[in-house]
Structure 1
């Protein structure tokens, strides 16, 4: 066993964020009797990603992000709506979307059976992540669920990894691996902290960045071959 502790990103690594997002958008727009068009979804995703990128860089706070994405969306589609209340309802619906990536449950159970220790490390909104993870079959599989909102740091900042290292009571960084789908957040964060990294790349995206993961996998079960 090469790695004692494996840190997992949550969204689009173990949990299908796209499905959860689609459920939440459909539900909240329906609740407010606003027609949800495909162009609205695409615009929301663009705005949302821009704000999450800014959050990773420390340019905006999480509270600002969760409301600002809907302020910008409503301004663009010319809808008058209370963005703060709408956002809170969206977050509640998002928390209902506990959809696992194919193979996630089997992978985690096998890793635990093999003697590994597992934790989640996520930049997601605490309310949402706790709800989604708690509703899943993986609810009791992790020693810790480390959320940026609790630590005061977001990936790729080393502060959140320091927090994880202490929580897992480790003394050697070589015993820790991070697995995630984001080069800029998960992989760069692991590199910054000095631990090995595994890029989950199911869509086989070409890496044109300067960020180089230790490993790259397309299916979650491949992790069993390197852990």
Structure 2
């Protein structure tokens, strides 16, 4: 095994993140029929907030608050209540991506494993537990707890410190987001793997060390 440590993103790298289905379930619990049009409208607010969060312009708390402000007024509740209900619904529908369990089990004992995620704390532990994955990861580094999000080098620094400062050449970052996962890892000086199941075009000036279409392909590459 070339690497001593393999770090994974969480959403759409290890776990399915079907936000529409999660929101539909969450709003159903509030007695609301949430439609695709409602979702598109929500994403017009939500997606730019995630960009601002990753660029350090807003905090996790601001993101949680602003994205549900409109719906909270309609339902006479608070944005944080809706945010928690959403994360609970996402935990309830949580599934692993194809090949995730096999990959992690095959790497266990051959390299140390960690997670670096920009997702929220409330969702991470429960998801790992429900999917039987908790035992495999030495460290789960969550941007909300660290106060910095990928691609900021600070979150990678924090992870490296927890890991006991291994040689960077022995660390691999795996993720589906070319900007936060791949560019973040490259700028930090570690090797990277872009999980690209939909065959998207590579953004200019971002050159991962590996590109794979599935976690099965990654398993083959790493254990060859």
TM over 0.5: yes
8 Å contact from structure 1 (residues 124, 147) kept in 2: yes
User: 2-side partners of 1:193 and 1:82: how far apart?
Assistant: 42
User: 2-side partners of 1:86 and 1:171: how far apart?
Assistant: 40
User: 1-side partners of 2:78 and 2:22: how far apart?
Assistant: 15
Q: Where does structure 2 lack aligned partners over 5 or more consecutive residues?
A: none
Aligned residues: 221
User: 2-side partners of 1:63 and 1:49: how far apart?
Assistant: 15
Q: Deviations over 1:102-158 (max 9, x none)?
A: 010000001115x11111110111011122122112121111111112222210011
Q: 1:32 offset after TM fit, Å?
A: 1.7
User: 2-side partners of 1:38 and 1:83: how far apart?
Assistant: 23
Q: 1:222 offset after TM fit, Å?
A: 1.8
1:153 and 2:148 aligned: yes
User: 1-side partners of 2:105 and 2:189: how far apart?
Assistant: 27
Equivalent residue, structure 1, for 2:187: 192
Equivalent residue, structure 2, for 1:169: 164
Secondary structure, in 3 states, of the residue corresponding to 2:135? coil
User: 1-side partners of 2:75 and 2:166: how far apart?
Assistant: 54
- Of 77, 88, 98, 1:92 maps to 88
**For the aligned residues, what is the CA RMSD?**
1.8
- For normalisation by structure 2, the TM-score amounts to 0.92
User: 2-side partners of 1:223 and 1:49: how far apart?
Assistant: 28
Equivalent residue, structure 2, for 1:108: 104
- For normalisation by structure 1, the TM-score amounts to 0.90
Q: 1:15 offset after TM fit, Å?
A: 0.2
User: 1-side partners of 2:75 and 2:24: how far apart?
Assistant: 18
Equivalent residue, structure 1, for 2:40: 42
- Give the direction of change, closer, same or farther, for the CA distance of 1:169–1:226 in structure 2 (3 Å limit): farther
Equivalent residue, structure 1, for 2:216: 221
User: 2-side partners of 1:201 and 1:187: how far apart?
Assistant: 11
